[in-house]
Structure 1
Amino acid sequence: MNQRVQCKNQTTGNDEIALGATKITLGSLQLTWLYQSDDITMLSLQLYGLLMSKMIQEGIRPDVIDASLFRYTKRWIHEDEEGSPSTHEENYQREIIETVETLLSNQIEVLPCKLLFEMLRSAILLEASTKCRYGFENRIGRQLIEATVEDLLTPFQGYACEVQYDTECVKRILKAFYSNYTCSDQSGLIKVADLIDDFLTVVAKEFDLNKDTFMSLLKLSAAASNDLHRTSDGMYHAIDVYLNKHKYHLTESERDEVCQLLDCNRMSSKACRHAAQNERLPLRMVVQTLFVGQLQLRDAITSRIGDSENGSQKEEMTLVGDGCNGEDARMEMEKIDSKVMVLEKECLLMKRHIETGVGEKRRKGVWKKLKRKFGCVISMTDCDCQVNKKVHP
């Protein structure tokens, strides 16, 4: 089951453990039996809890203890059975998961993150105590770097396949991760930020996911990306998926509200090009991405001209697929500056249109005019580009 667990024969200093009238001799107890045999999982919770507590006191390895605890949980908690458990069974299962949580080791990576997520799911479904659920969340958060999107989705899958995303649960897991992350390398932080973006993209496909819940998850993604050298392409992709899935019941103002958390200045040039032709986005967001895209191009040209003048580049400068010299580049930059000025005016004009509630016909006219003015004449059916969600400099 757990590839990290290695079988070794161990004994403790004591020869036996007394459990009421039951005596288990440890001198001949092989740990292979402890976590591979079903014998020990047949014990009642009271006997099993006493046995595990004594073995922890005797210094048995945490990986062996935790592997046995997981097997005991799977033995008594059957989430895949048809029908709901009786009240007595549910109470007993709740007592099991709460007892198991208190016996689990707090060491990192003793039990794989995937198995901890499964235990958290059981605790949520059984409505275990807050202390129990927080205990699992804290252990998960401390090793969140090894989690996958499928793992992060696990706690929110109900008995009848309904999905209820608990944003507070995700927040607590993230808080535990950041509170315990002490590495100076940002790779772990970037990996978790990517994980949240991937999680967002998956849940955005859920038709029943309401706007407020999705925005709460967007805020988590934005917080996870703070102070990191990474693009906001992942968040843009998730928003695009959500707008496409919910395009028939989101108003223009609601779509604009969803996009407010997206930082266009952190989008890559490829994402900006895609967004500029994305008719699912509100007009204000399209204008912003066009503006950012023009500024990125202008900055690139300015940088190339400076390098050319300093003699750092001797080859002929290339711009938009066509060769051009420094003078041509200056002329092109002047044209871009002119376009940016026009774009700023268009932005103000469209903002007035949005605020005054211009009709759909007028909206489409302004859209087409904007696309002609800035050369965005390719339709969405012709543009099938996919945004790279993980672009790091």
Structure 2
Amino acid sequence: MLMGRRPSLWISVCCCCCWPGSLVPSYLLLKEILSSFSCKLSKLFNNPSANSSAKALKVIFHDFPGGPEGFELFARFCYKNGDLQITPSNTPLLHCIAHFMEMSKATLSSSPCLINSTRKSLEMIQFWTWSDTVNSLKQCQELSAISGSSAVLGKILDSLLARIAAISDASPSDSPESSALRFSCDTRSTVSVKTGNSRSWWFEDLVLLDPRMIEKVIKGMLSRKIEHGTISRFLFYYLKSRLSNAALYEKKKKATEVTIELLNCLDVNSVSCKRLFGILRVSSSLKISRACRSTLEAMIGAQIDQASLDNLLIPSSTLIDSIYDVNLILRFLKSFLDIVGKELVARLKRVGRLMDLYLAEVAPDSCLKPAKFVALIASLPDAARDCHDAIYRAIDMYLEVHSQLSDEEKMKICCCINYEKLSSECCKHLAKNAKFPSRITIQALVSQHSKLRSLLQDTNNIKSTQKSPLKGKQCEDGEQIILYAKKLDLSIENEKLKAHLQGMHWRVMELEKVCKKMQTQMTSIMKSRKYPATSSGSRSLPRLCS
């Protein structure tokens, strides 16, 4: 209770900002003193119905800024005729009280004006310490719904961002005593600067801000062109701090959603793919909104080529259709292709190698449906892989586990193989592999036959250009291979077909040896005759002969 001189009329003011049923503090004050500083009370007390009451006037405030503590500050200001110390720690609250009680001007010319006093304090904000600025910002987030808070928040936020921007632009070698860094001598942040971590010392001071205030801070940083890498590191640090404390479920969920949306505003190269996977794992238990999860998946997909196999091995939520979440990986790949397309071949091939590893992990899964397995293989364009040996091995494992599949289902799976990109070793293995349908074996043979034709044609072209004496031998070997392939009757029984295929592969191996020998001999002939190098003569032999 604040006491003044003996009044002619007392009033009781209750600040109802507490829980229903709780004890509400009351104050007996002189209405003349309060109304001389507050236009809001002056208008209320000048109401004829208020003056006609013989009883003490009772006024109830349901949302007074700062609750009972805020009202005490207001009353002390009035009773001391404005002689109240205004500091950075109470400036935001007093500024909001001045707006709430309509104290923009005094009702008496001799009465001090609270709004002017708080404005003068804000004009000196450049001399506030860093800790004063941070504490004032924390106070603003508690007053965000009150009229007048936006103006003071804007000034405090601008001051804080200017200091962070000065640190971000400063050289790491700058000393903490420099003008850009000398904000405070009483804050733990100064210690962080002295340890050499001069660009991220402010992280720990801002983690106590709520997600709404963090959103304002980050958007302010973006407008000031602060480095996206710094912002990204802070957001991951902020989220980790919020998730590790004992906050309520809803607060953790809100912090996660806000962090994801803010990370999405940054340059994709400044956001760590590994850390995004960390958020993904945490968000599963928080049940973030569908739109927010889609945003997170799109960010991961955009840089899936930076991921590792362990990142992709995310367990399925149901464990019915598959052990791992295959649908999630397919969404990642779709996002990647939407952004990258087929132009960035290097990135595309990195994803191809990653998916080959992933296929080897999921192929033994007995719950994985054929359609999903095919979708995984076909999710990337053919340019993503130079060799299909890994795909063949994955299919081989899948057919081993899913032996009950029909030939038609096996054919759909095997159609994903580009037989021209199979090595001779894999083709030889395929010829003897009983798990594959006979038609697939034939397709592999035809493909290898085409490769042999191309090889022989290229070899003939080289020898005709160099007028090599080995022409007769080459033609004989080539004709033998081609005639051998033509003699195959594709309608014969499977066992005979496999025997022919095996013989064909032996001939391929023999041809490779001949080609290597020819290459050595042609090199010797060119050196001995000293023929000038021509465009056709400098052409290297195909990979099969190298």
TM-score by length of 2: 0.51
Any idea what the Cα deviations from partners look like across 1:273-325, whole Å, max 9, x if unmatched? 2322222222211121122223322331232123212217x5x8xxxxxxxx4
Residue 502 of structure 2: SS of its match in structure 1?
Answer: coil
Give the aligned partner of residue 459 of structure 2. 304
Q: Which residue of 1 is the match for residue 363 of structure 2?
A: 204
Correspondence list, 1:201-280, <5 A = 201-221=360-380, 224-226=381-383, 230-244=386-400, 246-280=401-435
Number of aligned residues: 325
Encode CA deviations 1:250-280: one digit per residue, 9 max, x unaligned: 3333222211222223333333223222222
Aligned-partner Cα distance in 2 for 1:160–1:257: 25
Measure the CA separation in 2 of the matches of 1:186 and 1:132. 30
CA contact (8 A) 1:124 1:133 kept: no
Deviation at 1:178, TM superposition (A): 3.4
1:145 and 1:192 in contact (8 A); partners too: yes
1:59 shift after superposition: 4.6
Partner of 2:296: 136
2:253 aligns to what?
94
Task: Verify the 8 A CA contact 1:272 1:292 in the aligned structure 2.
Answer: no
Q: Evaluate the alpha carbon distance shift between residue 214 and residue 92 of structure 1 in structure 2; reply closer, same or farther with a 3 A threshold.
A: farther
- For residues 460 and 225 of structure 2, the distance between their equivalents in structure 1, rounded to whole angstroms, comes to 68
* 8 A Cα contact 1:273 1:293, kept in partner: no
| Superposition deviation, residue 149 in structure 1 | 2.4
Q: Does 2:494 correspond to 1:367?
A: yes
Matches within 5 A, 1:339-354: 339-343=484-488, 345-346=489-490, 349=491
Partner Cα separation in structure 1 for residue 248 and residue 138 of structure 2: 24
Is 1:283 equivalent to 2:438 in the alignment?
yes
2:391, 2:218 → 1: CA distance?
45
Residue pair 1:106, 1:139 contacting (<8 A) in 2 also: no
Unaligned runs of 5+ in 1: 1-11, 79-84, 317-324, 351-365, 379-390
**2:293 maps to 1:148:** no
Unaligned stretches of 5+ residues in structure 2: 1-124, 142-155, 164-182, 194-198, 506-542
- Paired with 2:396 and 2:241, the residues of 1 have a C-alpha distance of 43
Cα RMSD (Å) of the superposition? 3.8
Asked if structure 2 preserves the Cα contact closer than 8 Å seen for 1:144 and 1:192, the reply is yes
Any idea what SS the aligned residue of 1:230 has? Answer: coil
Q: Quote how far apart the aligned CAs of 1:44 are.
A: 4.4
Q: Does residue 267 of structure 2 align to residue 107 of structure 1?
A: yes
Q: In structure 2, what is the equivalent of residue 337 of structure 1?
A: 482
Q: Give the direction of change, closer, same or farther, for the CA distance of 1:193–1:371 in structure 2 (3 Å limit).
A: same
The amino acid across from 1:108 in the alignment is V
Question: Is the contact between residue 269 and residue 296 of structure 1 (CA under 8 Å) also seen in structure 2?
Answer: no
2:138 match: 19
Greater relative CO (CA pairs within 8 A, separation 6+): 1
Q: In 2, are the aligned partners of 1:76 and 1:93 still within 8 Å (CA)? A: yes
**How high is the sequence identity, in percent, across the aligned residues?**
22
Conservation of the 8 A alpha-carbon contact between 2:353 and 2:385: no
Q: 1:184 and 1:220, CA in 2 relative to 1: closer, same or farther beyond 3 A? A: closer
Q: Distance between the aligned counterparts of 2:341 and 2:445, measured in 1?
A: 39
Tell me the distance in 1 between the aligned counterparts of 2:318 and 2:230.
30
| TM-score of the two chains, using structure 1 as the length reference | 0.68
CA deviation map 1:171-205 (0-9, x unaligned)? 44334333433896622222222222332222223
Corresponding residue of 1:66: 232
CA separation of 1:47/1:164 partners in 2, compared to 1, >3 Å: closer, same or farther? same
